[in-house]
A and B are shown apart, each in its own frame.
Chain A
Amino acid sequence: MVERSVRVEDKLFCNRYLVDAGRPHIKVRAHTKPSPQLLALLKACPARCYDLNDKGQVEVTVDGCMECGTCRVIGEPTGDIEWSYPRGGYGVLFKFG
């Protein structure tokens, strides 16, 4: 199936967020080579929070996170990521939900 690329950034742009600067609620465990679970997050995260850096390691930027928990379900059992909810009041603020 041919899929045109979708700019998820444009979708996230209409959402409201209160970013807790410097206190990300998700952390990726230090690694040299990403596990299959970490690589799966590049595609499965609906906000595209996960990306590869220059060294081919998986990084997370939680600014656009919708707190769905998909990455937790995939990446927490293997210890690849640490997942918490943002501090009270921070994070995504749905107007409609």
Chain B
Amino acid sequence: MIEERFDAIVVGAGMAGNAAALTMARKGMKVLQLERGEYAGSKNVQGAILYADMLEKLIPEFREDAPLERHLVEQRFWIMDDRSHVGLHYRSEDFNEERANRYTIIRAQFDRWFSSKVREAGATVLCETTVTDLAQDAYGRVIGVRTDRQDGEIHADVVVLAEGVNGLLGTRARLRERPKPNKVALAVKEMHFLPRETIEARFNLSGDEGVVIEAAGTISGGMTGMGFIYANKECISLGIGCLVADFQRTGRTPYELLDHFKRHPSVAPLIEGSEVKEYSAHLIPEGGYKAIPQLYGDGWVVVGDAAQLNNAIHREGSNLAMTSGRIAAEAIFQMKSRRLGMTAENLALYKRMLDRSFVLKDMKKYKDMPRLMHTNSQNFFLTYPQLISKAMQTYLRVDGTPKSEKQKSTLKSFVNARSWIGLFGDAFRFARAWR
């Protein structure tokens, strides 16, 4: 048993946990952070895009020494069918700014750096330590944790659960529900290594410029899901994710889906000749606002993916994690400095602060989107991409057919596939969920 008592224990050294531990340690609190991996980041998987603004709020000078890959100058969104893609590309010289807005990163390297900042701030970081249970008193108040390291408990005034999407502690202690198959996506990813010049030539980049490609369509075979391709310095992160419930329903395997995506004629040339150095898998919270659990209680708060804080529409998660971790830490520090107990009543401040931030405002905006996407996956991820591709091809192919006939046949194909009522219904539902 560790006799020492801590002001706060942070479980997990991902984005949320590091943000929380750093914030509290800098304010002079006695912080213990526990991480089950060999080092911070060794268990973490992400695409991965880093949003600078949210990190700047924690480490303003991060660009000096953080392991960043490329700053993003271009965003592509592809709607794909089996042989083609319709793309929306946005590229701007404005993104070549001194303090770039978004970067690609490699999480294992980034988290290790982030963790070094947490240590510098004075937190005790203990790796290779799996927390097995929350310690609770007779009234159910969380008073600390139990780990696989030694018998007994480690006590603290408050425990910050930054244990990730598949966090066991909160569910074991019945503080929140286990994620459900229709509320989480399984993403698989590969790291494709290529010479730097090859990546820059294939993606039309120079220097440290980077590109992001997000892709949806028949690549997910009618399941709710998306593919992604991110250019790093000397490798390409390539992956695809779909709802676990959809994998369960269809019997499709994640690795075959990934291979299918890699063989797509729009994708294959980008990774041709590459060496794959890692294959990883991770769950992504997709339940949206309505899946957010109780965020605080007596002696505990939950942050990041463990709290289902992920904006699936905008592909933002790590910035919500960092922000929720920081805000939780600030709320805890307020209690500490006012000598108030870490009770549910007092820690409700965390939720109130989160409500006022972009985190819950953005989550709330899209509260109806997950259900729309999850219940109409055949239309949004199969039928429409096929129709759009066909319409584009009809439009572009010059074959002597009068334009008015082309337009009629395109319209007819949409109406045949979805009917007028279906088309208007889909548009209306989409617009309402987006509003």
Write the residues of chain A forming the contact surface with B, with a CB cutoff of 8 angstroms.
1, 3-6, 8, 11-12, 14-15, 18, 37, 40, 43-44, 46-48, 66-70, 72-74, 76-77, 83-89, 91-97
Contact = CB atoms under 8 A, between A and B. Distances in A.
Nearest to A92: B43
B130 A1 contact: no
Contacts of B180: 73
A87 B41 CA distance: 16
B250 to A, nearest CB: 9
A74 to B, nearest CB: 6
A79 to B, nearest CB: 12
Contacts of B248: 37, 40, 44, 74
A97 B281 contact: no
Nearest to B48: A97
Interface of B: 36-38, 41-46, 48, 106-109, 111, 127-130, 132, 147-149, 165-166, 168, 178-181, 184, 186, 188, 190-191, 221, 235, 244, 247-248, 251-256, 258-260, 276-283
B259 A94 contact: no
Nearest to A64: B279
Given A46-B186, A70-B244, A85-B36, A11 B279 contact: yes
A3 B263 CA distance: 11
Given A14-B278, A73-B180, A93-B42, A68 B166 contact: yes
Nearest to B237: A96
Contact of A44 (B45, B128, B254, B277): B254
A8 B259 CA distance: 10
B282 A68 contact: yes
B280 A88 contact: no
Contacts of B256: 3-6
A88 B36 contact: yes
Nearest to A4: B259
Given A6-B253, A6-B259, A85-B168, 4 more contacts: A4-B259, A14-B278, A44-B247, A76-B178
A69 B279 contact: no
B278 A1 contact: no
B201 to A, nearest CB: 23
A97 B107 contact: yes
Nearest to A5: B256
A87 B130 contact: yes
Contacts of B259: 3-4, 6
Contacts of B132: 84
B130 A94 contact: no
Contacts, number: 150
Nearest to B149: A88
B187 to A, nearest CB: 9
A94 B247 contact: no
Contacts of A91: 43
Contact of B253 (A43, A66, A72, A89): A43
B260 A43 contact: no
A16 B251 CA distance: 28
Contact of A96 (B36, B108, B281): B108
Contact of A15 (B149, B165, B184, B278): B278
B111 A97 contact: yes
18 contacts: A3-B256, A3-B259, A5-B256, A6-B258, A11-B255, A40-B247, A48-B253, A68-B186, A70-B247, A73-B178, A73-B180, A88-B36, A89-B37, A93-B42, A96-B107, A96-B109, A96-B277, A97-B108
Contacts of A47: 281
A97 B46 contact: yes
A70 B38 contact: no
Contacts of B186: 44, 46, 68, 70
B419 to A, nearest CB: 26
B106 A46 contact: no
Given A11-B255, A46-B186, A97-B107, A1 B279 contact: no
Contact of B251 (A18, A43, A77, A94): A43
Nearest to B279: A11
